[in-house]
Structure 1
Amino acid sequence: MRAVTASEARQGFAEIIEAARREPVVIQRQKRDIAVLMSMEEYERLVHLNVAEFQRFSDQVGAKAKAAGMTEDVLKGLLSSED
């Protein structure tokens, strides 16, 4: 992964955009990573990966709740008793 300073990114923005099409580019300010520029394809891949992972997690939690006897009726009863 390439790293550039914020000044370098500002001065060579077109070049940084082209580099980001190939790999993420870390932008640093005062030797600290502050941002990452990446291709739209990589961004969309990461978003879809996170959505799929969240769905798997939700399915696992739902399966455990169902195995423990949790149903919509039980949940509704719990929620209505809080009122």
Structure 2
Amino acid sequence: MRTITASEARQEFADVIEAARREPVIIQRQKRDVVVVMSVDEYERLVHLNVAEFQRFSDRVGAKAQEAGMTEDVLRELLDRED
């Protein structure tokens, strides 16, 4: 992964875009990483990965709740009590 300064990124923006199409580019300000520039394909891959991971988590929680006797009817009762 390439790392450049914010000043370099401003001066060589077209090059940063081309580099980011191949791999993420870290931009630093005052020697601290502040942003990452990446391709749209990589961004979409990460978003879909997070959605899939959240779905797996939700499925695990749902299965445990079901094993513990939680049903939609029980959940409705609990929610009705709160109102």
Residue in 1 aligned with 2:77? 77
Distance, in Å, in 2 between the alignment partners of 1:40 and 1:10 is 20
Residue in 2 aligned with 1:65? 65
Q: Residue 38 of structure 1: CA displacement?
A: 0.3
Report the TM-score, using the length of structure 2 for normalisation: 0.98
Within a 5 Å distance, the mapping from 1:1-40 to structure 2 comes to: 1-40=1-40
Q: Residue 32 of structure 1: CA displacement?
A: 0.6
Query: What are the superposed Cα offsets for residues 19-54 of structure 1, whole Å, 9 maximum, x if unpaired?
Result: 001100000000111100000110010000000000
5+ residue gaps, structure 1, are none
Residue in 2 aligned with 1:41? 41
Distance, in Å, in 2 between the alignment partners of 1:33 and 1:76 is 47
Residue in 2 aligned with 1:52? 52
Q: Residue 82 of structure 1: CA displacement?
A: 1.2
Question: RMSD across aligned C-alpha pairs, in angstroms?
Answer: 0.5
Report the TM-score, using the length of structure 1 for normalisation: 0.98
Q: Give the letter aligned to residue 82 of structure 1.
A: E
5+ residue gaps, structure 2, are none
Give the number of aligned pairs. 83
